[in-house]
Structure 1
Amino acid sequence: MRLPSRAGLTAAFLVAAVSAACSPTFNWREVPVGDAGLVVMLPCKPDRATRALPLGAASVDVEVVGCEAGGATFAVAHARAADAAQAEAWLTAWRAATRAQLADAQPTESAATLPRAAPQPAPVRLDGIGNAQAHLRWFAQTRAGGVSLYQATVLGRPSAADAVATFDEGLRLP
């Protein structure tokens, strides 16, 4: 059996080292969010946290799953409302609070679509340009025992032109 030369071993080591050092900026993966079955595509390994969010008169526990990649933050937040009326009130308060935070970005709202999203509260999209570029979607899904509310967010300017579209297309309700 012939052993590789010293130069061959050095070249193989350099190729392996360079290959290991080259990790993609956007390493998309499927991530479950909440208890209702939403699956999202995130461009990096996500962190998870829960925080209390004031939504109108209520303080609501919101689960947040997200990460940073390519100059932007990608996140999905989830809350669970008891019924459609509570979901509508919370979503209205959530959107108003977000618009106030993004006032410098001159946000615009429009109707959104997402397969299998609840018609009420209706899905909404918000896009803002400026110092804090923002792309958000709110949507809900009615499940046994309540309504799951979601906010999908991209903040910043991703280095890949298709990153926001990939994130949006990766939002899948069961």
Structure 2
Amino acid sequence: MVRRLVGVLTLGAALAGCSPTYDWRTIMNNDNGYTVDLPAKPSNDARQIEVGGTPMQMAMQTAEAGKAVFAVGTLMLPSDDPQMQRTALDFLRTGLARNVSARPDAHAVQIPLAAGGQVPGLEMTLNGKAGEQQETRTIYARFVAHGRHVYQAAIIASQPLPQEQVDQFFQSFQLY
């Protein structure tokens, strides 16, 4: 009985691997100043958070594909003050790492501008346990400040994703 169940699950997984999980579409978010490819129709949400004692609005645009959530979060800062940008970047980076009990180690990466050129950002890949069930999660994330916006582009998955899906998402992320 167990062998039969394993066989059925294996066949189901193989067939699911043949179906198109990712239906990439380019999303232009004019309100928050970016464009990105998402693997499904996105949903939008917003919430109030406090960064360094300052209340701010964080807008989220998310799409689910397979066992992963692709998201772009945008913080609207009160000004384009470099110290406020650094504080917001640190807040997002450490918060995401804390969710999986990982160190917020990041390395420099260039984020493209839609009009040409690039701005410096940060990138990190994290693995750890999350939630009450302590389920394994892999997080791929990029962070960047541009003007009065701070962005967090992230993929949260229950297992590592094929590199081409990660690349599709991050290489398409451009700021206005």
TM-score, normalised via structure 2 length: 0.73
CA RMSD of aligned residues (A): 2.3
**1:118–1:141 Cα contact (<8 Å) kept:** no
- Aligned equivalent of 2:107, options 110, 134, 152: 110
Pairing 1:20-31 to 2, within 5 Å after superposition: 24-31=20-27
- Report sequence identity in percent: 27
Aligned to 2:74: 78
**2:132 paired with 1:132:** no
Cα displacement string for residues 120-164 of structure 1 (whole angstroms, at most 9, x for unaligned residues): xx411111124210001001222xxxx211100000136644111
Q: Based on CA coordinates, which of the two structures has the bigger radius of gyration? A: 1
Distance 1:32 1:114 in 2: 16
- Aligned equivalent of 2:40, options 33, 41, 44: 44
Partner of 1:98, secondary structure, is helix
Partner of 2:61, secondary structure, is strand
Partner of 1:93, secondary structure, is helix
Cα displacement string for residues 24-67 of structure 1 (whole angstroms, at most 9, x for unaligned residues): 21000011235253101000000000011232212321110011
Question: Displacement of 1:90 after TM fit?
Answer: 1.6
Q: Give 2:138's aligned amino acid.
A: Q
Q: Give 1:72's aligned amino acid.
A: A
Runs of 4+ in 1 over 4 A off after TM superposition: 158-161
**2:159 paired with 1:172:** no
Partner of 1:154, secondary structure, is strand
* Structure 2: runs of 5+ lacking an equivalent: 1-17, 129-135
Q: How many pairs does the alignment contain?
A: 146
Aligned to 1:162: 164
CA spacing shift, 1:108–1:71, aligned 2, 3 Å: same
Aligned to 2:153: 152
Question: Displacement of 1:118 after TM fit?
Answer: 7.3
* Structure 1: runs of 5+ lacking an equivalent: 1-21
**1:118–1:140 Cα contact (<8 Å) kept:** no
Aligned to 1:54: 50
**2:108 paired with 1:87:** no
Partner of 1:112, secondary structure, is strand
In proportion to residue count, which structure has more strand? 2
CA spacing shift, 1:171–1:100, aligned 2, 3 Å: same
